[in-house]
Amino acid sequence: MIASGFALLQGMEGMQQGMEGTGGGAEMQMGRDLALIAPEIAVVLTAVGALIFEMLRLPRVALPFTVIGLLVATGLTLPLLGTETTAFMDTFRIDPLSVWAKLVLLPATALCVVLAHGEVKDTDREGTVYALLSFTTVGALALAGAGDAMFVVLGVLLASLGSFALVAYPRDDRSTEAAMKYLVFGSVTSAVMIFGLTYWYGATASTLLSELGGLEGVPLAGAAGLVAVLVGLGYKAAIAPFHFWAPDAYDGAPLSVAAYLSVVPKVGAIFGLVQVLRDLPASGAAGWPLVVAILAVLSMTYGNLAALAQENVVRLLAYSSIAQSGYFLLGVVAWERGELALPSLVVFAAAYAAMNIGAFAVVMLAGRDLDDFAGLGRSAPATGAAMVVFLISLVGVPPLAGFVGKFLLFGAAIEAGFLWLAVIAILNSVLSLAVYLKVVVPMYRTPKEAPKHSGPVRAVWILALAATVSIGLATQILLGRIA
């Protein structure tokens, strides 16, 4: 915690310097800027409201309030579609990437809030969980729209602080240990990131990401900052080799929190990575696209191979989410030279959010162990069938959402001249079939016991299933909106 606090302080100092650098005139812009971040403000108010209802001992109100607040924030985002501008003196970007991040992550957060209700209802601090989830989402959104190095730091810290508390929520040994690992890992990587970013600041005399072009010809400082950013955001997105916390944290945390962590901060960090790298000169020291491509290969391959060895479904999904981060990176790699990069990242983010939250929802009903899935397909055919859909969508089987997202990512990578990367990704997808079938196969054995029943969780998987199928079938409509 001390390290994080220190990091936060450093971040704020940097923010002041950034403001000095760009000069005054901020007040005149304030009204417009506030309108542009209306969705984020709505989320913050939602979080505060959830806390207030908790303090008023009205936990029953906190849940609908949070869900409605998040949906209102989603609605407030819609008018911003197609906008391409910046707010707060270029430090925050309102572009298709950040707008679509909101459109994907806010509903995803709402689904996770409903999932969390199943686990924390009637415990004390129920509303706190909803508030923390909302605050963490603000961090992820800050990352996805970052236009300034300090927003990157702020986003990582905001997304992390809430996550630590969420993982530790059950207050038992496992969750405490998981949260501790997560915290220590996060503190170190955040410190490394801030340290590395100072090189960029030193070389460009600005914390603005749009000034990163000034790194051309300063390869060492450029490389130092690149490594630092990859460490910091790679940690948040659970990209190998910065993933070590993920399986423990997911397994120790409540399942709804695991579902949340595997989707919202990850997508935020990946989009944040794009915001940083898009302005970075690609020519220096072997070029960042190649570095990111290597991380992608590492993440996909390691994630799938490690998932293959798991006997615990949550850990299996944790490693699978590391592999999915690798696929995400294909879109990042392609950003420089590919028209498809933006649509591929957005579609895959939406697909990934739907199928991963859906899969975790079914895990909440069935249980954490592979053995708990024995016979699920027979004792609860609908839930079982939904799980099969989520898993084969994670593999990337047409016509489901996962296929379309991956297909666009592979296309983007090929378009950008990374055919070898696309081939490795395709081979990994087929390998992942073995991973997910590990869960499917026991589902059709003799049932052991019927799964739990929970209305809200059922509603979540039904919504996730609808999204998984419809994103797959109606991709063309989505593509038309993004372009």
Q: Which is nearer to another protein, 186 or 442 (CB)?
A: 442
By CB atoms closer than 10 A (0-12, 13-18, 19+), residue 265 is buried
Minimum separation from the CB atom of position 404 to another protein (A)? 7
CA distances from 461 to 151, 397, 407, 450, 458 (A): 34, 19, 24, 17, 5
Closer of 242 and 436 to another protein (Cβ): 436
Nearer to another protein, 5 or 381 (CB): 381
Q: Which is nearer to another protein, 188 or 426 (CB)?
A: 426
Q: Give 241 or 398: the residue with its C-beta nearer to another protein.
A: 398
Taking each helix axis from N to C end, the angle separating 455-473 and 475-482, rounded to the nearest 10 degrees, works out to 80
User: In the bound complex, what is the minimum distance in angstroms from residue 459's beta carbon to another protein?
Assistant: 21
201: tokens are: 């600041």
CB of 6 to another protein, least distance (A): 48
Report which DSSP code applies to 369.
Answer: B
Render 175-234 in DSSP notation, one character per residue. HHHHHHHHHHHHHHHHHHHHHHHHHHHHHHS--BGGGGGGGTT-HHHHHHHHHHHHHHHH
* 207 contacts 217 by C-beta, under 8 angstroms: no
Site residues (vs another protein, CB under 8 A): 378, 381, 385, 397-399, 404, 407-408, 411, 414, 419, 422-423, 426-427, 430, 433-434, 437, 441, 444, 473, 475-476, 479
Q: How far is the CB of 210 from another protein (least distance, A)?
A: 30
Cis peptide before 281 (omega within 30 of 0): no
Least distance in Å: CB of 431 to another protein? 9
SS3 282: coil
**Residue closer to another protein, measured from CB, 216 or 311:** 311
Give the nearest distance from C-beta 430 to another protein in angstroms: 5
Q: How far apart are the C-alpha atoms of 193 and 227, rounded to whole Å?
A: 8
Please report how close the Cβ of residue 349 comes to another protein at its closest, in angstroms: 17
User: What is each CA distance from 195 to 21, 149, 160, 199, in whole angstroms?
Assistant: 20, 12, 18, 7
Residue 371 is given by DSSP the state G
Nearer to another protein, 60 or 481 (CB): 481
